[in-house]
Chain A
Amino acid sequence: MIRRATEEPVTQQPTPPAIHTLTLDGEEVSFTAGETLIDITYRHHKDVPNLCYDPRLEPFGACRLCIVELEGANNPVASCTTLAEPNMVVTTRTARLETHRRVLMEMVASENRDIDVDPLSGYASQQMRELVDQYDARTGRFQGEQSGTSREDDDNPFIKRDYDNCISCYRCVRVCAEQEGDYAISVMNRGFDTQITTEFEGLLVDSACTFCGQCIQTCPTGALADLKALANKDVPGETVTTRTICPYCGVGCTVDVMTRGEQIVGVLPAMDGPANEGALCVKGQFAFDFVHHPDRLATPLVRGDDGELHEASWDEALDRAATGFRKVLDEHGRHSVYGVASGRAPTEACYMLQRFIRAGFGTNQIDNCSRA
């Protein structure tokens, strides 16, 4: 198997991996066994163009834009699927490579309805447009039938399935299988008729899809698009992203929250998030409406003698809670209390609850909902 560069080889005793060298655009560079050529070009900021590459996924080799010249090989080779070998001589830009890349981009441009899509569509949605412009590929050559059929019948609230704009890079299918382990989508048919599908061409809700949104964020064309973000496309203002942590659970996925003015317009996963490496679940990805929801609590509430909830200060509210707990303890004893920590709570909060129940009440009746 080809190993991704980020994975360490499994060995009994950690021996440092052997360092080899090869020539990259005339410079000697070092690499470790198991790295692909594209990994090395990235490390040296060569920006080899690509559309089917996602560093988190197994090498695939669909778009052929990442071709490089390899001394001794007749044809260019795809750098994303070629393992580096000692003393290779690799060139990333030549007239021949640039000609093929331009022809490939003209071909890709010819199969889609849109090249320009709203950046709110998703994290990678501008990738194809950028390459079309970089290679000046809006020439109108190679016109013919367009590929893919959009699923306008799929009325799920999260994911737009606009396959008229699909270029069959299969990143969505691969991210769903390799990153999510959901295997909700696959490739149907062959050749120009390939189509991303669920089993029996059904709707996403009827499939194994968990609406994690990973497929959206890796799609390089906006064919899969974030409907929740696109719903905010008319919100005025420039999109600003703010790095933060998803509030939903203890995993602590890093997210980049997109705002315009005071309004959250969407969420992007952070590809460099240490806990998630670009992954999110349906909640972190799509469930941000609560922030601006009118029902959301903004201050503590305590119930008054009239039986209604009234706004209160934190001191007031905590005193009221403490009084209540003490009353239960006095009247019914220490084993009348049972604490359940939320699965959404981080370890520190779980620890605090455990201390609170054990030391505060003197009982071992403490549990966590994720054990149920």
Chain B
Amino acid sequence: MNDVASTFKRIPAEDLAWLGTNPVPTKPYYDPAYFELERQSVFLKSWIHVAHLCEVPEPGSFIRCDLEFARASLLIVRGRDDRVRAFHNVCPHRGTQLVDEAAGRQSKFSCPYHMWTFGTDGALLSAPDFDAFHVDKADCSLVSVRLEECGGLLFVNFDQDAPPLRDWLGAYAERLEQMPVARATTFAQYSYDIAANWKLTYDNFQENYHLRFIHPRSGGAGIGGDNQFGYPATMGFEGPHRTQRIWSNPAPDLKPFQRAAAMRGIPPLAEQGLLDLPYGRDYLAFFPNLFIIGTPTQPFSHTVYPISADRSRGVVRVYWVGEDRDASHRFAREYSVAQIRDIHCEDIAMIERGQNGLASGALKHMHFQSMEALCRHLFNEVDSRVQEHARRMGDVL
């Protein structure tokens, strides 16, 4: 990997002071009323990552995607015209959920209740005894939801007035397009339910302050030398989104088997040109709840879907280009996924402890230091939307 920093320079606190330095209120991290405003002003208004293009490779390929925050089930399907669309997974006749399977491929979708049948473009193709209805077929299409793609990632937006995805992603769109995820054809996935607020969960993954305490072994390679906390080399901000460049430890403490396992995955990555991508040390955080890591040996996304003020669902995907080509390749990928899962599981314990503490109401405020600036930025971005929404609704928070 390129540009290995031999010495670590801590980002000066002054560079981040524009984000504010005050303590942050705790209520937004457990209060159901705040969560409801957040649901309306953040999640129903932002582009939300739901899937990857590789999940709908051919015309008729579909996935079902349930989004608790919208109380919605979506059907994401590639049409015969090759366009990928999202619809509410709801039959326009009387509301029955159309598709039960998590994924599949078919040319038509028939509702089991009274057999209304839809095409991959959502149009009603046929309905038994339709003449007895008092409506036109053209008015009985599946209800569509805005869906746009960038870097292989599919996003939906429940707000008809939201700007296009590319405008929303700003300058980070191009970075995303140069990450391995943009070329991915397959992925490994693990997921978890957590008794914690989505921000508290997400924040854990945007600060390195905890690494040396929570991941002394599993995350050992990312800390050391003159950077005992493994703080990032740089941070950046782009509208509601943010980034950090992971510090390159010049002398990572890799164990022999660990090194051997990683090496097994290098030749295919080199041949695919994935080792020389420009953002290979970068973490890109897309507001509100997705981040992507460009590390070629472990290119993963992590999305934290809110369920309620104190419940969330996390989905981690390690994105790969091409199928496993041989035993070595398969082995390296298995090791890579298991290794990152080891690190993530150590976080879960702390996050739930944090939620328990905050939910007690014992603290009115909590504190972010400068190296927790990304957490503060997320709070700022959420809170400004929530406050604005509350003002418009005449609510007092």
A, B: real partners: no
**Residues of chain A having any CB pair with chain B under 8 Å:** none
**Residues of chain B having any CB pair with chain A under 8 Å:** none
